[in-house]
Amino acid sequence: MATAMAKRLEGKTILVTGASSGIGKSTAMEFARTSPKSLKLVLTARRIDTLKVIAEEIKEEVGSGVQVLPVKLDVSNPSEVKGFVDSLPAQFRDIDVLVNNAGLVKGTAKAPDIADEDIDVMFSTNVTGLINMTQAILPIYKKREDGGRGDIINIGSIAGREAYPGGSIYCATKAAIRSFTDAMRRELIATRIRVMEVDPGQVETEFSVVRFYGDKAKADAVYAGCEPLTPDDIAEVVVFNAARRENVVVADTLIFPNHQAAATVMHKKS
């Protein structure tokens, strides 16, 4: 017998940005596992070959009830985002859930030594990319009854709530996501569109490898002596939020591993 969550998700089309790794990949898998009978997944990222492998993995695990469309999309490129919806095959265009997950951090430099290209890539991906994706998908939602319906789930961060030294630009991008999300929830109050934010604390993914420009040893040191969250931990929350009864909006979620109490308060075993 199908669970309530499976039934609520059945027949939906889910779009995940940044689905080639970490939280985005886990989110795609978790949606497929939760509602395997009838679901459409549009998985986007820059690494299309990785997305194709993930699409095969999903098919192998849950079977043909879940249709997966891998699409190469750089969210930091406004013209790619503009053409995105029209480029989708018609059967994948009626999106019900947008998970704005694509994002990254570069470096730990402090002002005035932050590289221009790092500032640009963080803002154009985490902020402008997320806003452009949202603007591309909202018209689909707004055509529906009662002023519109559909879900927007933005992946923020503890870094958007509490700034820390060496993270000024990344923290600023995540704070911007928080303001945009809150404003949108207010703007869309006369519709049935749900606007939600999920803010993870420390999660072990490729995030720190990207932060340290590919230096795996530096990335591993971030997680030494503690047990970070896994991307599956966050995926479970994203899917839970999307699968609530339509009148329930899990507006804001903050998720820490047990050893973390704030952006810079971590207990590490020596």
Would you please indicate which residues are annotated as catalytic (active-site) residues? 170, 174
Interaction of residue 125 with ligand 8X3, rule CB under 6 A = no
Interaction of residue 263 with ligand NDP, rule CB under 6 A = no
**179 — phi, psi (to 5°)?**
-65, -45
Instruction: Tell me the CA distances in angstroms from 56 to 61, 98, 157, 203, one per residue in order.
Output: 9, 21, 30, 25
Residue 263 interacts with, from ligand 8X3, ligand NDP, none (CB under 5-8 Å by kind):
ligand 8X3
Nearer to ligand NDP (CB atom), residue 67 or residue 253: 253
Interaction of residue 103 with ligand NDP, rule CB under 6 A = yes
Strands (E) in the chain, as ranges, are 12-17, 39-45, 66-72, 97-100, 149-155, 192-200, 252-255, 260-262, 265-266
Q: Which stretch binds ligand 8X3 (CB under 6 A): 7-15, 27-35, 154-162, 237-245?
A: 154-162
* Spatial strand order in the sheet of 12-17: 66-72, 39-45, 12-17, 97-100, 149-155, 192-200, 252-255
Count of residues of this chain found to bind ligand NDP when the rule CB under 6 A is applied: 31
- The answer to whether residues 38 and 11 touch, using CB atoms and an 8 Å cutoff, is yes
Residue 70 interacts with, from ligand NDP, ligand 8X3, none (CB under 5-8 Å by kind):
none
Residues engaged in binding ligand NDP (CB under 6 A): 17-24, 45-47, 73-76, 101-104, 125, 129, 155, 157, 200, 202-203, 205-207, 210, 231
Residues engaged in binding ligand 8X3 (CB under 6 A): 157-159, 167, 170, 202, 263
